[in-house]
Structure 1
Amino acid sequence: MELQKMGGETVTEMLNGTLPDSDKAAVLEDGYEEEERTLAEQEEFLPHIASKKLNQFTDYEGKTSFGMSVFNLSNAIMGSGILGLAYAMRNTGIILFVVLLISIALLSAYSIHLLLKCAGVVGIRAYEQLGLRAFGHGGKVVAGVVISIHNIGAMSSYLFIVKSELPLVIQTFLGLSGSNGEWYMNGNVLIIIVTVCVILPLAMMKHLGYLGYTSGLSLTCMFFFLISVIYKKFEILCPLNETHSEKPTIYYNGHNVTDEVCAAEFFTVNSQTAYAIPILAFAFVCHPEVLPIYTELRRASKRQMQNVANVSILAMFSMYLLTAIFGYLTFYGSVEAEMLHTYIRVDAADKLVLCVRLAVLVAVTLTVPVVLFPIRRAIHQLLFHKKDFSWLRHVIIASCLLIIVNLLVIFVPNIKDIFGVIGATSAPSLIFILPSIFYIRIIPNEKEPLLSRSKIQAACFATLGFVFMVMSLSFIIVDWVTTGKSNGVGH
């Protein structure tokens, strides 16, 4: 460089004012060029530092495609609660149900937006690490425990469906009139076989992205369920158990009630309406899976992951809405809390209904490994955060979790009561409360002041979560006290 060539004499001459103006210009020009080169090198170097910081909490370079990520997140959203949506519509009416479903879908998308924004600011893609960043070790523990409790409850609800439905499906396939104590008709034995032969091998996968194919198969089964519900609407006549075209006239206390039984309600409120709101709210719980899926997304960015979430929520919203409408318009006031049971009342030997029950069994079975991943990740973050990956530990954690879930399903008689309380506390925490308070704590006040619109919205969102939690617990307790019977809500 010219400045270096001239050395100390040139600098001295500049300071003393004895250097000619033309030489001064040359020296200053070279100095500016050197400064620009230095800044350019810094600009090129700093992104590498930033990327290292971004990847500090990720142990895997994302390789999962957009489509597979959508399958995984959609499968995480799609829960056994889809079987109860027609019952929820029965207790709210079509208009109120649609308004509530749209509202919950939008709130869920907003909640995911808060999570992704927090993750983008601090470069963290683990729910538990967001808790650590926001509230220290206590926040990390709370996030890990809430995720574990909720997902253990969800896995147990899926295996309860296997326990209750699989023996009946086998019985129908074999043409048996009842069980004579055969081992293949024992639900407890069957869930152990399904767990060991199907769920455990899938849970051994190191990365969640590999389950995109099974998630796609699970969603295909639920899509078959939806098509069957639509088809049955035009085959089953109201009132139930009638196979001929003429509807009999039903009288009650001298009044013709046939039209009332088979008439759709557009807006209604009854003693069971309060349960419909938590059912709809919990139908979109997928937040424990969002950040693990984000971690494994190829060319991951906040915008791309938000698109994954939006597509998944929109797809599940469509399936939920169509299932609820056609299921309700098939049975009207006769629809049961578990819609498959209503079809069985009409014709237990119906081959299509049998195939639908089998498809639902496949769907919920293939969902269990996806739900298990966030629990195992939470345990890793809480207990083994500083240790490298170990296949032995990976297998042991998955096996222990599945053993716990199987024991719950087999030995706890009033599991719905427990899940009702778990669902009423963990689901609002994951959807509303934790993302909001993380956002308020993590986003710097210099970037968004505490009284900014975004943080005020997040505070209102957290308050709404507390209202949901108190309301759900109150109705469950009132139901226990007044009827002695729980209608616990599950995902």
Structure 2
Amino acid sequence: MSAYLAISGHEDHDVRPSSANSHRSPRQRSSRGRKEVGVIGQASWLSSVINLVNTIIGAGVLAMPLALSRMGIILGIFVILWAGATAGFGLYLQTRCARYLERGSASFFALSQITYPNAAVIFDAAIAIKCFGVGVSYLIIIGDLMPGVVEGFSENAASVSFLVDRHFWVTGFMLIVIPLSFLRRLDSLKYTSVIALISISYLVILVVAHFIKGDTMQNRGPIRVVRWDSAVATLSSFPVIVFAYTCHQNMFSILNEIGNNSHFRTTSVVVASIGLAAFIYILVAITGYLSFGNSVLGNIVSMYSPSISSTIAKAAIVVMVMFSYPLQVHPCRASVDAVIKWRPIKRSESPGSSPSRLVSLLPGAKTGPQTRGDGMGETRFAAITTAIIVLSYIVAMTVSSLEKVLAYVGSTGSTSISFILPGLFYYKISSPDSPHHQRLMKEDDDEQEDTADDDENLLGGGLKGGLWRKKLLRRASLALAIYGGVVMVTCLVTNTLFVVATH
């Protein structure tokens, strides 16, 4: 048996239920029994992928050709794939961290409570600010694009003042997204996510169709295949690609709601979502860049000649960001709730010395019945959601551009969520000295005992290989956190240089 089994052997009578399945923890039984899973998570694999892809792909897909023009085709494609791989690894670490928590209770707050409890408020505040800022930017995009969409469909629209007023359209679309923002479960947004993905598909088809048609070649600039524009220009586009994969704020909700939370199933959700997003980014980047060359702008749709198809494309962008707004409200609400409930933990109440305070976060802990997956009461849920909606509406109505603010919020918030937090959380919680890791290792050993049918040779080889992989994964998680810190500093410096240059 493994060394971890010997270390945690004194907890044997505490963690093993007295049922016929005594060798399985409640975490394991809930992941196997379809009936129990249905109570905790009812989301399908497909709906999980759809929601995650919709969270990943936003208006940033339209800036991919510009990034390629600054980096060159070869380097640009490599950076898109690299950014997808690192973001996917962060998502994978989140699936691993969720195994240390009670089924259905995974969140950044829950993890910070058993790893860095007194820093939990900082983590959740950063997530809330990031999601709020992105949500506001979506409302601003709606206000900026809708007047042009109306004018594209009707030349006389300008004569009706309110039809070309951004405030009118922000207000009108808020009436649509408000009911969607009050949905508790992320899985409830799967149908709106499908509509948003249809809009994305139209944008991709439009870019590819113009490239095949070749009607932009007369205005095309030179093409860079290997050479880049400059080091500064390349660094300025790097954050755009890195942040284009940010979806980690919704990953724990997906893990809580998915019906089958097996390791293979959750990993396949990550691979499918990141893979599809990377494919779309590369397709739009290459075809869009080859259509306009180095003359391409940040929003490629705005470069096409005025027509019904380009007007529909602008409308598709509006639909896409409109249905993406509730996907930002969902994690923002959870983080704000965690910040409100946070209380500092005294040294004598640390997880190691007083586990009773955190027992509900541990695998196998007995919790009271919860009617809501998010744990929020009706009044608190309504109050926080209303506050987020009202504040975002006020900011969107009074501010016409958040580019500079979002540049810094994205550099800090997105980097923290995507790389630093998943890396640090897994590195901390998977430490051999961690009581949570020892408990999980014991459950895994018991599971392997049952699977191997007491074949000690097979069991021993599997455990040795598993320990080696866990050590490698733990080192890789630390490397991801360090990489996130480097990305954060690089992006902040680059943004600062551009602000100075513009002045």
TM-score, normalized by length of structure 1? 0.79
Larger radius of gyration: 1
Identify the residue that residue 340 of structure 2 maps to in structure 1.
Answer: 383
Partner of 1:378: helix, strand, or coil?
helix
Equivalent pair of 1:93/1:264 in contact (CA under 8 Å):
yes
Identify the residue that residue 43 of structure 2 maps to in structure 1.
Answer: 64
Number of aligned residues: 419
- Kindly state the Cα deviation for residue 121 of structure 1 after the two structures are TM-superposed: 2.4
- 1:67-106 equivalences under 5 Å are 67-106=46-85
- Kindly state the Cα deviation for residue 202 of structure 1 after the two structures are TM-superposed: 0.9
User: Is it true that 1:171 corresponds to 2:151 in the alignment?
Assistant: yes
User: Quick one: distance in 2 between partners of 1:455 and 1:312?
Assistant: 24
User: Is it true that 1:217 corresponds to 2:195 in the alignment?
Assistant: yes
Equivalent pair of 1:60/1:296 in contact (CA under 8 Å):
no
Mark the runs of 5 or more structure 2 residues left unpaired by the alignment.
1-15, 32-36, 343-369, 438-466
User: Is it true that 1:428 corresponds to 2:415 in the alignment?
Assistant: yes
Equivalent pair of 1:80/1:157 in contact (CA under 8 Å):
no
Residue-by-residue CA offset, 1:320-368 (whole Å, 9 max, x unaligned): 110111111111111101112212xxx22x1111111111111111111
Identify the residue that residue 141 of structure 1 maps to in structure 2.
Answer: 121
User: Quick one: distance in 2 between partners of 1:421 and 1:234?
Assistant: 38
- Kindly state the Cα deviation for residue 60 of structure 1 after the two structures are TM-superposed: 6.4
- Kindly state the Cα deviation for residue 239 of structure 1 after the two structures are TM-superposed: 4.9
User: Is it true that 1:324 corresponds to 2:305 in the alignment?
Assistant: no
Identify the residue that residue 226 of structure 1 maps to in structure 2.
Answer: 204
User: Is it true that 1:44 corresponds to 2:31 in the alignment?
Assistant: no
Identify the residue that residue 98 of structure 2 maps to in structure 1.
Answer: 119
Residue among 348, 372, 375 paired with 2:329: 372
Mark the runs of 5 or more structure 1 residues left unpaired by the alignment.
1-38, 242-257, 485-491
- 1:119-268 equivalences under 5 Å are 119-123=98-102, 124-136=105-117, 138-176=118-156, 179-180=158-159, 182-196=161-175, 198-240=176-218, 261-268=221-228
Residue among 87, 90, 94 paired with 1:108: 87
TM-score, normalized by length of structure 2? 0.77
User: Is it true that 1:466 corresponds to 2:427 in the alignment?
Assistant: no
Whichever residue aligns with residue 202 of structure 1, its letter is: L
Residue among 382, 389, 393 paired with 1:402: 389
Residue among 295, 299, 302 paired with 1:341: 302
Aligned-pair Cα RMSD in Å: 2.8
- Kindly state the Cα deviation for residue 63 of structure 1 after the two structures are TM-superposed: 0.6
Whichever residue aligns with residue 489 of structure 2, its letter is: V
Equivalent pair of 2:69/2:229 in contact (CA under 8 Å):
no
Residue among 291, 295, 314 paired with 2:256: 295
User: Quick one: distance in 2 between partners of 1:340 and 1:53?
Assistant: 47
Partner of 2:418: helix, strand, or coil?
helix
User: Quick one: distance in 1 between partners of 2:493 and 2:209?
Assistant: 39
- Kindly state the Cα deviation for residue 264 of structure 1 after the two structures are TM-superposed: 4.5
Whichever residue aligns with residue 336 of structure 2, its letter is: I
Name which of structure 1's ranges 368-377 and 404-413 shifts more when overlaid on structure 2. 404-413
Whichever residue aligns with residue 420 of structure 1, its letter is: A
Residue-by-residue CA offset, 1:88-123 (whole Å, 9 max, x unaligned): 001011100111111111111111111111111233
User: Quick one: distance in 2 between partners of 1:49 and 1:356?
Assistant: 49
Equivalent pair of 1:263/1:332 in contact (CA under 8 Å):
yes
Equivalent pair of 2:140/2:400 in contact (CA under 8 Å):
no
